[in-house]
């Protein structure tokens, strides 16, 4: 088990669904208020440069308004090209839940 797995396991979350979904061709985005460089470093550290299960990262620098504003999720919808009806959000903060709900995405 690597550090990323240990971190998620301590929160009761398994990373297997992330890697399983990616292997099935299901798009996954990280939508965060953190700086992109920090998130990219963590993804690279724990998944490797070529093994990330994430299609893209929407970070602090990508939007003008931060959560709870829905701009970050609206940006993710636009970049993914997916219909919002086919998107599900996993969130870890009240501000994030508010942003997802304001973007009409189920959590």
Does residue 66 have a pLDDT over 70?
A: yes
Q: What is the pLDDT of residue 7?
A: 59
Question: What average pLDDT score do residues 81-94 get?
Answer: 91
Does residue 8 have a pLDDT over 90?
A: no
pTM of the model: 0.82
- When comparing pLDDT for 104 and 21, which is higher? 104
Q: What is the pLDDT of residues 13-65, one digit of tens each?
A: 666 777 777 788 889 999 999 999 998 988 888 788 788 999 999 999 999 99
Residue 72 burial (CB < 10 Å; 0-12/13-18/19+)? buried
């Amino acid at each position: 088990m690597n550090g990323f797995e240990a971190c998620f396991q301590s929160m009761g979350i398994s990373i297997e669904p992330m890697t399983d979904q990616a292997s099935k061709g299901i798009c996954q985005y990280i939508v965060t208020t953190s700086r992109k460089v920090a998130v990219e470093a963590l993804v690279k550290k724990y998944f490797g440069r070529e093994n990330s299960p994430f299609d893209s990262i929407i970070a602090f620098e990508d939007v003008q308004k931060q959560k709870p504003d829905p701009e970050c999720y609206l940006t993710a919808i636009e970049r993914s090209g997916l219909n919002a009806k086919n998107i599900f959000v996993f969130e870890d903060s009240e501000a994030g839940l508010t942003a997802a709900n304001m973007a009409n995405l189920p959590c």
